[in-house]
Structure 1
Amino acid sequence: MFDALPEFHRPPSLPRAVRPTALQQSALWLSATRLLGSNAEMVDLGTRRALVLRRRLKIIGDLALLSRAELGMSPGDLTALRHHLGTRHLAVNAETMEDADALARAGFRRICAPRAIAELTLDASSDVMSARLAQKWRNRLRHGQSQNLMIQRRPMQPDKRFWLFRAEALQSLRKWYRPLAPEMVAAMAASKPGAVQVFTAYHLGRRVAAMLFVRHGLQATYQIGWSTPEGRKLSAGPALMWRAMVELQAMGTDRIDLGAADKRLAPGLARFKCGTGAEIRQLGGTWVDSGWRFRPAQHTMAEVA
């Protein structure tokens, strides 16, 4: 029913993580940030390790950032976290609602509300993944596969001037979002050749759509999606995503983080991501603890919502 694909060798005996690690907590992200000259390190937090980014800013001083690290710490331990990290200010992008509740109880201040992301589990059987597709999404996929699209997958070279970055920059202006800096994507490509994979759809020799994925461990993150009006008419998006699902799984990927899925602010994008069979999960929002002010009284998430 679906396109025949070349076989890939899945690395044998790879350990499976109990819970997938976000790109911002991966060894690839650590290597790339260091390559760009940032102060990044892995630190021990009880029984876990987390990637911490550090910056010294004018006026406010030292700032440490924990982005999407699943902490699993008690409110009491979180109360001392800023001092444990030796920083004047600490910002935490909470990975789970459980971490968010503990941060609230520890006296952190929430500065950004939680956002939802779409997470897609892959399967070695394309039939299993096909059965999970929403009916309308499956119909668009069939339409795309009937349009004589040529789809290519290639590893991205470490070039911050790669054509897709320019195309996304123009798209981001129209759709009001801030893309990841091309320098960071190029640094990840330089840190581990083959980590950044680009799927491009052509029609009659013209590029009509493209998707960029970052592979890290057994996971991948959907980082860029771009399409022309012609590509949308040809249903190139579903055709590209399906090809990426099958090929990334064959390369050893168990799960794709499809990124933000806000049904209120971007309902069309959320429907597209959910149509793949992905599940929506709520992150915990952004929290801060600062040495500039007294720690507020403890609260629960229900009280700050």
Structure 2
Amino acid sequence: MFDFSPCPTFTAPQPVRTAPHAPLQQSDLWLEAADRLGSDARLDRIGDATALVLRKRVPMIGELALVSRARLELTPDRAAALRTTLGASHLVINAETTEDACALAQAGFHRIVAPRMIAELRLAPTPDAMAARLMPKWRNRLRHGQSQGLQIRRRPMQADPKHWLLRAEARQSARLWYHPMPPEVIAALAGSAPGAGQVFTAYHLGRRVAAMLFLRHGRAATYQIGWMNAQGRNRSAGPALMWRAMVELQQMGVETIDLGAADPDRAAGLARFKRGTGAELRALGGSWLDTTWARRKRGRARARAVANLRGTQHGHLLATATAPFRNA
């Protein structure tokens, strides 16, 4: 029923210093890419957890720090001491769990971005087991895609910010009004470890009709880019590509895939597509800010201090830090 044709044997990813199933923003791959881009990134101990922290010193503003999607298992007391522990004037936490979000709120952090839903797919050990978890409608679209004469090829992504897929996503994002990860960042991630970026491309009669980019990190992978034209949509290239990626990534040693944003209210079709793979939806904790400017104030004055920080000429740093990644 499905294409279970044997695939080449792949070399498993190199051992990591961070947790093997950690999100992309807490992976060795992210750490290496940040170093390539000249960012100040390091691993710090926060209680019993190890977290990747990005830092930047800005004149007249002070030390800014970002901790994105680390499982911190915070208590209110530990959260209240975070900024001092990290030696930062201003600290942004993109909370991985709702429990950490509650601790941050109780500690006096100011929420600057609401929580979002993501889809997480745990890959079964065999294609048959993965197929059994597919939703019936998704399985039907997969059958349709596999009957359309599509040729699917996988290639490692070159570390080139002008890669055709990055240029295609730039055009797609302008049309659909979303903010993609900067091409320079994706190129740095793809170049930070052999085979980190894997591009699956669907062709029909020799022409590209759809493509997906996955970033491998530890025993996990992140679905970073999905591009498709009208022909690809008509021929159900999306399920065909995703299925091939699931099978081949599992053979490469990947155990979980972060499929990214899956909000049933704001993007119901995208959420259905991701859930159709057998993925489960989970709420993140939102983005939270603690700043010395706000700690010195109370009530409305505190809210104004937060707004002033976001409105400075360096506010783009907070915007970049808290912007959700597009994994469509």
- Distance (Å, rounded) in 2 between the aligned partners of 1:227 and 1:294: 47
- Distance (Å, rounded) in 2 between the aligned partners of 1:11 and 1:273: 25
- Distance (Å, rounded) in 2 between the aligned partners of 1:176 and 1:266: 13
Query: What aligned pairs does 1:203-222 form with structure 2 within 5 A after superposition?
Result: 203-222=204-223
Query: What residue identity is the alignment partner of 1:100?
Result: A
Query: What residue identity is the alignment partner of 2:145?
Result: G
- Aligned: 1:150 with 2:144: no
Corresponding residue number in structure 2 for 1:238: 239
State the shift of 1:18 in Å: 8.2
CA contact (8 A) 2:134 2:277 kept: yes
- Aligned: 1:86 with 2:87: yes
CA contact (8 A) 1:63 1:87 kept: yes
SS at match of 1:293: helix
CA contact (8 A) 2:20 2:217 kept: no
- Aligned: 1:139 with 2:119: no
Which consecutive unaligned segments of at least 5 residues does structure 1 have? 298-305
- Structure having greater relative contact order (Cα 8 Å, sep ≥ 6): 1
- Distance (Å, rounded) in 2 between the aligned partners of 1:81 and 1:239: 45
Query: What residue identity is the alignment partner of 2:2?
Result: F
CA contact (8 A) 2:198 2:213 kept: yes
Corresponding residue number in structure 2 for 1:164: 165
State the shift of 1:48 in Å: 1.5
Query: What residue identity is the alignment partner of 1:259?
Result: G
What's the CA shift string for 1:103-138, capped at 9, x where partnerless? 111111111110000000101211111111111110
Query: What residue identity is the alignment partner of 1:48?
Result: A
Corresponding residue number in structure 1 for 2:117: 116
- Distance (Å, rounded) in 1 between the aligned partners of 2:84 and 2:292: 9
- Aligned: 1:96 with 2:111: no
- Distance (Å, rounded) in 1 between the aligned partners of 2:32 and 2:129: 35
Corresponding residue number in structure 2 for 1:50: 51
What's the CA shift string for 1:138-184, capped at 9, x where partnerless? 00000000011100001011111100011000110111111111111
Corresponding residue number in structure 2 for 1:183: 184
- Distance (Å, rounded) in 1 between the aligned partners of 2:144 and 2:111: 45
Corresponding residue number in structure 2 for 1:255: 256
Range 47-56 or range 242-251, more displaced: 47-56
- Distance (Å, rounded) in 2 between the aligned partners of 1:9 and 1:174: 37
What's the CA shift string for 1:8-58, capped at 9, x where partnerless? 35749x89x988311000011010011001111111112211001111235
CA contact (8 A) 1:10 1:250 kept: no
Corresponding residue number in structure 1 for 2:313: none
Q: Figure out how many residues of one structure are paired with residues of the other and give that number.
A: 296
SS at match of 2:152: strand
SS at match of 1:292: helix
What's the CA shift string for 1:56-111, capped at 9, x where partnerless? 23543221000001111211111111011111000000000010011111111111
CA contact (8 A) 1:213 1:224 kept: yes
State the shift of 1:280 in Å: 0.2
Over 3 Å counting, the alpha-carbon distance change for 1:40 and 1:18 in structure 2 is closer
CA contact (8 A) 2:20 2:220 kept: no
Corresponding residue number in structure 2 for 1:227: 228
Please report the RMSD computed on the Cα atoms of aligned residues, expressed in angstroms.
Answer: 2.0
Corresponding residue number in structure 2 for 1:32: 33
Task: State the TM-score, normalizing by the size of structure 2.
Answer: 0.86
Query: What residue identity is the alignment partner of 1:243?
Result: R
SS at match of 2:139: helix
Corresponding residue number in structure 2 for 1:303: none
Query: What residue identity is the alignment partner of 1:279?
Result: E
- Distance (Å, rounded) in 2 between the aligned partners of 1:18 and 1:214: 16
Task: State the TM-score, normalizing by the size of structure 1.
Answer: 0.93
- Distance (Å, rounded) in 1 between the aligned partners of 2:192 and 2:215: 12
Corresponding residue number in structure 1 for 2:285: 284
- Distance (Å, rounded) in 1 between the aligned partners of 2:295 and 2:8: 59
SS at match of 2:162: coil
Which consecutive unaligned segments of at least 5 residues does structure 2 have? 300-328
Corresponding residue number in structure 2 for 1:301: none
CA contact (8 A) 2:43 2:50 kept: yes
- Distance (Å, rounded) in 2 between the aligned partners of 1:11 and 1:26: 16
Query: What residue identity is the alignment partner of 1:152?
Result: R
State the shift of 1:293 in Å: 1.9
Over 3 Å counting, the alpha-carbon distance change for 1:43 and 1:156 in structure 2 is same
SS at match of 2:148: coil
CA contact (8 A) 2:166 2:183 kept: yes
